[in-house]
Structure 1
């Protein structure tokens, strides 16, 4: 073996050793999960990563009452950091490199740009009134913010750290949550009971889908063919064909349907119900609810771990995050975070595999 190849081998080995579960390959993850290798998991559990390390697997949870973000280490299930931000943070997202995070601060009408290594805000970007849902373009250059108190989507140039224009959804529109796939932006309007499909290249509304009452955190399937819409006023999960806006299914779930995650195989959805204090599992093959877990005060937002073996739910009524075993469909832990937790988002290095 020549010197160049040896160097590559050593570098690759060091990458695996230093990265823990964040950079496991799919094969390594399978081996560990089936008992053939547990070194990475044991190492991560024995040596919890520091809050700012890129190799850690964490959830960031904004606290509306404390104007801060709790950093949760997934392996230990403990809060390992705290990031002060502006007033009433609602949601948080990450760049694809995980080096930056962005938080929407409702009462200060700003977007915080956060360095995830130092756990400090490096810039506050003024946007429209009460920013809520935010989403980032795949190249990390453009952030789109829905502002609850007006009719615009605000565009932020993340490299320059400033507003770069708006998209007008029309008089009377009330933007709430957003999802992005390709050049299509999906925006829920909780007051007018509709979802706008916006072309981000032309900055125009291409289609409007009438939904049930009070649509909240919309999600779009990976192939772009289906739109999942929790409707709080109808305690339902609605599924639409994005091409023609036709309703494909409407499933009864917990009251106040708020957020939804869909499994990679497309067979299961999990819907939070904020007013119902519950989470509902939905069988997407039969379009029926299979189980509802109650006793979850203010169940608001939800996110999977990488293997989708657990779902993490913010409980705005109890200052906790509930940890749900998705196979057993039961709560297995509760983690105390900042007061009135809102959104939740996974921070993990990009790449294949990932078992945490």
Structure 2
């Protein structure tokens, strides 16, 4: 019995560790995520309070599948060829690769608890993942399926992470310090920081890379940033608690997702002035996606339904709802 006692104790400790790992790592930090496949046939939606992802068929407007096995899913991005999508889960501490055709899990990569926002390059070779717990950004080599480098020096990086159109710069939001970090993707080092935000949330970058837009949920504004000088050049008032700062592909309009106002604020560009409020939504955040032709937008609601908007008329044309199962 004396020989087996240590083994029994070890087994108990292992079981306790596994049970602890199954708990939500950061349940007080809430967000949602929506990814549209490159050919605009699938929408995959999730929020950090649900252990499943919803997969919607955009042609039929119906739910196609429910993907289980998550604790706090944080972000979803498709590969440029649309064959795969990647999901971060901050409690599991994993990056997962799913097959977009079969909707099956293909591989998992450990990044540590706190894995949050992600951004993929145009070649589909690198994925950058924020870790709000360790204050780092992991650089993932997708072909080798390994972490090639961990960049340090951040302060609570969460959802906001974007690559410049030319892929030369990575912009990382620091929620704790209310600053943007600019990372050189060649050297994988932090070049500088940009300050002056108020509870910074989502960001977008213009096609020429010269202008960055950021949502400030602390004072209900969007900021316009000159990326060359690193200065905020203008702010505009929007709805209550804006999380989104989504730039339409044609570059003509910017949209804030206003969590408390249940609306989007349409901001005309380059004037950077409010043009309209689009209502009828429920707790929209940063999960806003567009069709390539800039005619449609898909906005995720709190109940994981997806509102499809006609951007010319500013009307919701249909709502794709999750199945009851």
Show the counterpart of 1:150: 134
1:291 counterpart = 2:276: yes
The DSSP-based 3-state class of the residue aligned with 1:98 is: coil
Residue 279 of structure 1, CA deviation: 0.9
Q: Which residue, out of 52, 59, 62, partners 2:46?
A: 62
Q: How does 1:8-157 map to 2 (within 5 A)?
A: 57-157=41-141
Contact 2:46 2:304 (C-alpha < 8 Å) held by counterparts:
no
Distance 1:55 1:286, change over 3 A: closer
Contact 1:261 1:271 (C-alpha < 8 Å) held by counterparts:
yes
Contact 1:271 1:279 (C-alpha < 8 Å) held by counterparts:
yes
Residue 209 of structure 1, CA deviation: 0.8
Distance 2:242 2:275 in 1: 16
Distance 1:262 1:159 in 2: 30
Distance 1:127 1:271, change over 3 A: same
Show the counterpart of 1:308: 294
Contact 2:38 2:80 (C-alpha < 8 Å) held by counterparts:
no
Residue 295 of structure 1, CA deviation: 4.2
Which consecutive aligned stretches of 4+ in structure 1 deviate over 6 angstroms post-superposition?
A: 53-56
Q: How much is the aligned-residue C-alpha RMSD, in angstroms? A: 2.1
Q: Which residue, out of 242, 246, 249, partners 2:231?
A: 246
Deviations 1:56-90 (A, max 9, x none): 71211124344222222222222122333432212
Gaps of 5+ in 1: 1-52, 340-356
Distance 1:56 1:272 in 2: 21
Show the counterpart of 1:174: 156
- TM-score normalised by length of structure 2: 0.81
Distance 2:50 2:231 in 1: 42
Distance 1:86 1:311 in 2: 27
Show the counterpart of 1:200: 185
- TM-score normalised by length of structure 1: 0.75
Q: Which residue, out of 186, 194, 219, partners 2:171?
A: 186
Contact 1:85 1:112 (C-alpha < 8 Å) held by counterparts:
no
Distance 1:212 1:56 in 2: 33
Q: Which residue, out of 205, 208, 215, partners 1:220?
A: 205
Distance 2:280 2:91 in 1: 29
Gaps of 5+ in 2: 1-36
Residue 208 of structure 1, CA deviation: 0.8
Show the counterpart of 1:163: 147
Deviations 1:213-236 (A, max 9, x none): 111111111111011111111211
Distance 1:131 1:328, change over 3 A: same
Task: Compare relative contact order (CA 8 Å, sep 6+) and give the higher one, 1 or 2.
Answer: 1
Distance 2:186 2:73 in 1: 28
Distance 1:254 1:314 in 2: 17
Contact 2:54 2:304 (C-alpha < 8 Å) held by counterparts:
no
Deviations 1:292-322 (A, max 9, x none): 1234221021001222211111112x33212
Show the counterpart of 1:354: none
1:267 counterpart = 2:249: no
